[in-house]
Structure 1
Amino acid sequence: MAFTINQFFCFALVLSALGLLAATQSLARPLDDHPKTLSIRERHHLWMARHGRVYKDDIEKEKRFNIFKKNIKHIVNFNSNTSSNKLFTIGVNAFSDLTNEEFLATHTGYKRQLRSGSTATNGLRSEGLASDVSQAVDWRQQGAVTAVKDQGQCGCCWAFSAVAAVEGLNQIKTGQLVSLSEQELVDCVQDNHGCQDGMITNAFSFIQQNQGITSEDDYPYQSTQGQCQAGYLGSNAVTINSFQIIPQNDEVTLMQAASQQPVSVAIAVSAEFKAYNGGIFNGECSNELNHAVTIIGYGTDDTTGTNYWLLKNSWGETWGENGYMRIIKDQNQCGIALDASYPI
């Protein structure tokens, strides 16, 4: 059968479009879904394309490939081990070419507040919270949670945790969900150290003393510390009266607080936490609190009957369950009840 030039051109365009579609679908599938025939290097190339990763030279690329390969091996071994009582899986994500040490140095940033002696109970609160609480809460369903954000390579998880709690409280009180400025906290909270580390309560104190916090639109996130612009880039969008600290190791009070509003918590993250892919996290944790997240609810898994906390993280939507985590409840997992607070 003979083709005219126009027919041949159209046929070529169709083949080209089909090839592009196949490549797009290949990149869209989870990395673990690719055929077993793909080599680790081919999987690394697909991973690079999906996450827009570009290395400065071949030496750096080879270094990152070897880390990626090691992380893939760990993921496969972990998920294939059926002898443990784990309730979750781990997987490939945007951090799979980083060592655990590199990741913790750039994507956490919590500094624990020490309490001792007569000050150990100063500002703690267990009274005034309802004892009759719902058995399950998800503040996303109430419209009190903004979209998952990404702190990038700035160790300011404390700012994202505090902001999420204030955003939630503001929506509960006013009905308006306003995305607030983490950058203002990174630049302006003098008692913290910007992208190096910081405490959640220092963020709450700044918002209180500053008579509010600016919206994200007026003071957008830059993933680096800059000069404080508080008072120059628009009026404060939300104010708080104060904040309360929850007694340590008290998940009953923590549940009472989380039933009323999102709560900021510190947590001890580990390699398994970094690669968390889904399920209820009951894995290993580090030895110290090093990250901050926000409890936005709790519930019970229908399949296993396991109670869990629902956490909003600040590592983007490709991590965990679209940026969120369920972590086992009532066991102070990863120190989740050691340093919790909320705005009022």
Structure 2
Amino acid sequence: MKLFFVLAAFAMAVSVVNGYSDDDAWKDYKKKHKLDYNIEDDGGKRDGLRKKIFLNNREKINKHNSHTKSYLRKLNQFAAMGTWEKKRYLGVNPSKAPKANFLKSIPVNLQSRQLPSSLDYRFDPCMPEIKDQGYCGSCWAFTTITPLEFSQCKLTDSPVVLSEQHLVDCDNTNGGCNGGWYTSAWDYLQSNSGAVKETLYPYNAKEAVCKFKTSMTGAQVASYDYVQSNNATAMQVALMEYGPLATALTVIESFFAYGAGVYDDLECDGQSVNHAVVIVGWGNQNGVDYWVGRNSWGTTWGTNGYFLIQRGVNKCGIENYPAYVAAAA
């Protein structure tokens, strides 16, 4: 990992030596992400504003990566966005979160089993491809669907892709692109004929009129529940027993630029959660325990859409609200 950071710093130094200017970096970034900020009669003001945001983020990323850190930041689709825009890529409604006393009262069944040193569902045949929620606060819907897809596949031994758009349009207990909560969505699915096949209800990152029909159903929710809060061992057991876990965490500016390594920013601790993700495994890197997290920001974010984050310390509140779901046979 140290070599990785050294090489990254070396690459940045070479780019400066070879005369790679800020203008070059901005042009290459726009080309890579297919961005065009030019507006007629604007005089380049909008492009200039975006360039300023980009260069500021680029400077922060380079500064972070020039020191030995546990995680690497990178330029991605968020590098030219303002804070107001990034908020649209979150979407957890913390008012729906259960109370701490309730979470502490949940029984813990550790079954005296030997836990492996690592577990990683990223490459399991039942793990669907990474998806992208786009400019819609629907992370809660993606976090609802992924564990159900995995559970359904394990029952039938056949991969299934389910619809998040169905929840965005039809689940009135949640707020569509304005946020929601995964256990509320599981309750909705359990009470309303189940989840829909993606091919019959494709995602478009916008709220629309509900088009659900019972003939679209591709999976049913048999049961769901929370895992005891702030209990990493209980979460590991639940991961082995049920598969990927839904959870919430606090996203701050640095997380948007996450690239690789074990995320450990102190600034996210002790704040209200604002984003939903899925935990798909655990491990240890250079003596640091971590969770493997799955995001819904596409494959260009993080490490092919995934991230590592400190385990056992409730980093960014990620161990506050873990929950599992089981598909109906």
TM-score computed with the length of structure 2 as normaliser: 0.87
The offset of 1:298, in angstroms, is: 1.0
Structure 2 residue identity aligned to 1:49 = K
3-state DSSP of counterpart to 1:241:
strand
The offset of 1:193, in angstroms, is: 0.6
Partner of 1:95: 78
Partner of 1:235: 216
1:115 counterpart (90, 93, 98): 98
Mark the CA change 1:216 to 1:128 in structure 2 (over 3 Å): closer, same or farther: farther
CA contact 2:264–2:310 (8 Å) conserved in 1: yes
Partner of 2:48: 62
Alpha-carbon distance in 2 for matches of 1:296, 1:214:
23
Q: Does 1:295 align with 2:276?
A: no
Alpha-carbon distance in 1 for matches of 2:232, 2:29:
39
Structure 2 residue identity aligned to 1:295 = I
Structure 1 residue identity aligned to 2:63 = N
Partner of 1:199: 181
Partner of 1:9: none
Mark the CA change 1:117 to 1:197 in structure 2 (over 3 Å): closer, same or farther: closer
- Give 5+ residue unaligned stretches, structure 1: 1-30
The offset of 1:203, in angstroms, is: 1.0
Give CA deviations for 1:196-243 in whole Å, capped at 9, x if unaligned. Answer: 1101111111111123111111110010111111216x4311111121
Give CA deviations for 1:61-93 in whole Å, capped at 9, x if unaligned. Answer: 1110000011011111111234xxx31010101
1:5-44 to 2 correspondences below 5 Å: 35-36=15-16, 37-44=19-26
CA contact 2:97–2:321 (8 Å) conserved in 1: no
Give CA deviations for 1:251-281 in whole Å, capped at 9, x if unaligned. Answer: 1111111123000010111111110010111
The offset of 1:322, in angstroms, is: 0.8
CA contact 1:125–1:245 (8 Å) conserved in 2: no
Alpha-carbon distance in 2 for matches of 1:285, 1:224:
31
Partner of 1:283: 265
Alpha-carbon distance in 2 for matches of 1:33, 1:326:
27
Give CA deviations for 1:140-187 in whole Å, capped at 9, x if unaligned. Answer: 332121111000000010001111111111122221111110000111
Partner of 2:8: none
The offset of 1:246, in angstroms, is: 1.4
The offset of 1:117, in angstroms, is: 8.4
Spell out structure 1 runs of 4+ moving beyond 4 A: 31-34, 117-122
Q: CA RMSD in A?
A: 2.1
CA contact 2:262–2:309 (8 Å) conserved in 1: yes
Mark the CA change 1:120 to 1:310 in structure 2 (over 3 Å): closer, same or farther: closer
CA contact 2:280–2:292 (8 Å) conserved in 1: yes
Alpha-carbon distance in 1 for matches of 2:294, 2:316:
15
Q: Does 1:250 align with 2:261?
A: no
CA contact 1:165–1:262 (8 Å) conserved in 2: yes
Structure 1 residue identity aligned to 2:276 = A
CA contact 2:53–2:80 (8 Å) conserved in 1: yes
> If you compute each CA radius of gyration, which structure gives the higher value, 1 or 2?
1
Partner of 1:187: 169
The offset of 1:125, in angstroms, is: 4.9
Percent of pairs identical after alignment? 29
Mark the CA change 1:69 to 1:313 in structure 2 (over 3 Å): closer, same or farther: same
3-state DSSP of counterpart to 1:94:
coil
- Give 5+ residue unaligned stretches, structure 2: 1-10
Partner of 2:317: 335
The offset of 1:283, in angstroms, is: 1.5
TM-score computed with the length of structure 1 as normaliser: 0.84
Partner of 1:15: none
3-state DSSP of counterpart to 1:320:
coil
3-state DSSP of counterpart to 1:331:
coil
Mark the CA change 1:109 to 1:309 in structure 2 (over 3 Å): closer, same or farther: same
Structure 1 residue identity aligned to 2:283 = G
Partner of 2:5: none
State which drifts further: 62-71 or 34-43: 34-43
